[in-house]
Structure 1
């Protein structure tokens, strides 16, 4: 299994995260089966709400559980300036286990009524890409900066996207996949941060499991191939 191969090539996670004070969100998904919320273990302790989704202990990569999206459900976090990256550095990381590799589906995005989000991680069939907007009406900065095009169902993958100055990078299981140099400021909005859906017009519900979600503002954690974690991200 990929999870076993991931563990075989990693070293133990550091005892502490040197950038923990910059963490905007940290979800482990280790709540009991059927929990209606997910605890944010980061310094901001953001609230979260499920709509039809649930946590499960049956499928997970690390820890005791994961966040399950049914294909008609989602997890939301209220709008916060912690997710407004502007022209600054950032890192978004999460583990995904895809339940369906057909259709167009939103994995992560900060929009509800807006036409376009500041950023989105989006699945199109067996492909996953990162999108970014400076105007809120189109993907003028990035349109499908790919993480890869051969994703399979029932397999865990570790995704990461970073911005360092004007350079965006995507990573799959610690390996650099795509690089793009684009100047511009990510648009800000007052929309929720959604996991598993897009906006009201085209929700594009995602189906699968998510684990170990970490968003870091102001820090680009990776600029080249890196050694992925062997367990949950540290809480301090």
Structure 2
């Protein structure tokens, strides 16, 4: 299984190893006697939480405030909802009245997204109907932000939305299984699995079926389309390598950076950007090298795809 948005994932927890490992290499620390269990687990093993048990990540990448588009999601299986507030996640400092984002399950089974700026009263931005979260069952819960719009999704269905225009300055502390209200910390009694934070992507816009297997750790193979072959240019009286990209995955051809490598596919020779038509040229490459590799990068600048190997520059 692949995830086309995997380059935008900043944190991914499977809870299948102890110590808990983030697939994107962020650090997380247990707060209290947190353990993994296979009993009633979703996939393999799941994280078991309760009173005085939470998981803390501290990284600039986990801070929600600076980014205008993101998706936070996780699977939860409540043992009970006996507290008036049951913390699912909390981004902020729980020991103060600083700004924060907090997602809570209420005793009536509703789920609410609360945002607070500074020491004022928090605002209920999105609230699901009562009974949306089922005790003793696995539930997929997601929050999507796109600018001032926040949408809550439960088990693939839109379950509440709202607008919040204030610029929030929450810090880097990100807790799973904890929230805070009126100076009291509230925990989550139950299991958690498959936590994922994606920035730059609003993953859910219409009803969907939640994942039935662990979230993928990789993106799909690149889909490369080349409108014409490399080789002879009738316009240029020199050694030339040229080509025309149709597209590179979800990146428009005109937005691609193309690199020229030597035959060993490691030694950098040159780079260029495709033009408005997706065309590129490398003029007068090293005459001593007869074959090259050509690669390009998608719009993230992180993921590359090989366009052609053993490409020959021709004299025209």
Cα 1:115/1:152, change in 2 over 3 Å: same
The aligned residue for residue 40 of structure 2 is 59
SS at match of 1:170: strand
Q: Which moved more, 1:161-170 or 1:206-215?
A: 161-170
Larger Cα Rg: Structure 1 or Structure 2?
A: 2
Does the 8 Å CA contact 1:30/1:57 hold for their aligned counterparts?
no
Q: TM-score, normalised by structure 1?
A: 0.82
| Aligned alpha-carbon RMSD (Å) | 2.0
- Could you tell me which runs of 5 or more consecutive residues in structure 2 were left unpaired when the two chains were aligned: 219-316
Q: CA deviation digits over 1:152-186, x for unaligned, max 9? A: 32111100110122211111111111121332323
Q: Is the 8 Å Cα contact of residues 101 and 170 (structure 2) preserved in structure 1?
A: no
**SS of alignment partner, residue 21 of structure 1:** helix
For each residue in 1:91-129, what CA deviation from the matched residue of structure 2 results, as whole angstroms up to 9, or x when unmatched?
011110001111122111022323254311112212221
Aligned residue number for residue 7 of structure 1: none
Provide the rounded CA distance (Å) in 2 between the counterparts of 1:52 and 1:165: 37
- 1:11 match: none
Encode CA deviations 1:167-223: one digit per residue, 9 max, x unaligned: 111111111111213323232324x21112235942112110001110111211112
Q: Which runs of 5+ in 1 are unaligned?
A: 1-14
Question: Structure 2 CA distance, aligned partners of 1:212 and 1:161?
Answer: 14
Q: Which has the higher relative contact order, 1 or 2, with Cα contacts under 8 A spaced 6 or more apart?
A: 1
TM-score, normalised to structure 2, is 0.62
**Is the alpha carbon distance of 1:181 and 1:198 closer, same or farther for their aligned partners in structure 2, counting shifts above 3 Å?**
closer
Alignment of 1:69 with 2:49, yes or no, is: yes
Counterpart for residue 251 of structure 2: none
**What is the rounded CA distance, in whole Å, between the counterparts of 2:202 and 2:65 in structure 1?**
12
Closer, same or farther: CA 163–154 of 1 in aligned 2, 3 Å: same
2:310 maps to none
1:229: how far off?
Answer: 1.4
Q: 1:29 aligns with which of 2, 12, 15?
A: 15
State yes or no: 1:193 paired with 2:174: yes
After superposing the two structures, state which structure 1 stretch, 192-201 or 72-81, moved more.
Answer: 192-201
Distance 2:155 2:86 in 1: 21
> What is the match of residue 79 of structure 2?
99
Name 1:208's counterpart in structure 2: 190
